[in-house]
Amino acid sequence: MNYPNGIRKTAAIRHGHSVPTKQSYGNRGMSLEEDINSTNEYYLETNQAIIHKKPTPIQIVKVHYPKRSAAMITEGYFRSKSTSDYNGIYKGKYIDFEAKETKNKTLFPLANIHEHQFEHMKSIIHHGGICFCIIRFAIYNETYLLEASNLIACWENMLNGGKKSIPYETLKQEGYLIPFKYQARVDYLKIIDQLYF
């Protein structure tokens, strides 16, 4: 069993004492999306919030039936541009956010988010919703919440000839580190409480 702090007990005994061994966070085997989905299920089960992953609208064109009981989609197209990954309601407020994972060590490329998604974020803010992005630096296994207003400012700066990415150090300063927990793996509502309630 892996524990939230990445340490697990081992039966190995050195000098008569049980010694905890460090477990690599990279070995959890969970992607950011899986961690968020698990967290959202926990929020729903504990009646804290109702937040779901948005399905991507796909138009199915061709289906292959190798067996009567099995169907395989062989051709399909996105019906429309996606807006963001997750939305729902928390304490009477609409929540909308994007989740991104990068293997880059030094920066988060803004190209990971499309122009229509930035426009969507602006619209959510304009209408009084809570909007943000959850970004995981996989190499460090660190997950940050960055408010949409900060992300939009970086994007607008890029459009005016500025940087095409957010440096890791900047994200550490402007974002909020989300600690890994056992039940709510990406417990972003704690940060939302601090920022909005």
Residue numbering of the annotated binding site for Mg(2+): 83, 85, 98, 117
Q: How far apart are CA 138 and CA 32, in angstroms?
A: 9
Chain mean position to CA 86: 9
Q: How far apart are CA 31 and CA 35, in angstroms?
A: 6
Specify binding-site residues.
83, 85, 98, 117
- State how far the alpha carbon of 102 is from the alpha carbons of 12, 16, 159, in Å: 35, 43, 22
Question: What token pair was written down for 190?
Answer: 């704690």
6-9 long-range contacts, CB within 8 A, separation 24+:
6/180
Q: How far apart are CA 177 and CA 114, in angstroms?
A: 24
